[in-house]
């Protein structure tokens, strides 16, 4: 599951685009998790800047859980 995420200069998450989705609500769960990412903004010439980046989530299924 891959999302393209805008990391804004004010340390907020901006637009999130789905690059690669998954079924059964996992895409929605990944989007919600991405909205909660905390980070320090990228810096350029001493100023905070917005950047775009990909975030990848991997889900695994425990064969022993039912």
Query: What are the residue ranges spanned by the domains of the chain?
Result: 2-56
pTM: 0.85
pLDDT tens for each residue of 5-25 = 999 999 999 999 999 999 989
> What values do phi and psi take at 15, rounded to 5?
-65, 140
pLDDT tens for each residue of 12-61 = 999 999 999 999 899 999 999 999 999 999 999 999 999 999 999 988 87
Nearest partner of 39 among 28, 30, 49, 27, judged by Cα? 49
Question: Rg of the chain's alpha carbons, rounded to an integer?
Answer: 15
Residues 6+ apart with CB under 8 A from 42: 7, 9, 48, 49, 50, 51
Residue in the structure block whose two tokens are 């022993």? 64
């Amino acid at each position: 599951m891959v999302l393209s995420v805008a990391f804004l200069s004010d340390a907020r998450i901006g637009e999130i685009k789905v690059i690669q989705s998954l079924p059964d609500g996992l895409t929605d769960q990944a989007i919600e998790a991405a909205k909660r990412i905390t980070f320090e903004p990228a810096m350029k010439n001493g100023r905070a800047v917005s950047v775009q980046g990909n975030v990848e989530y991997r889900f695994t299924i425990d064969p022993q859980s039912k």
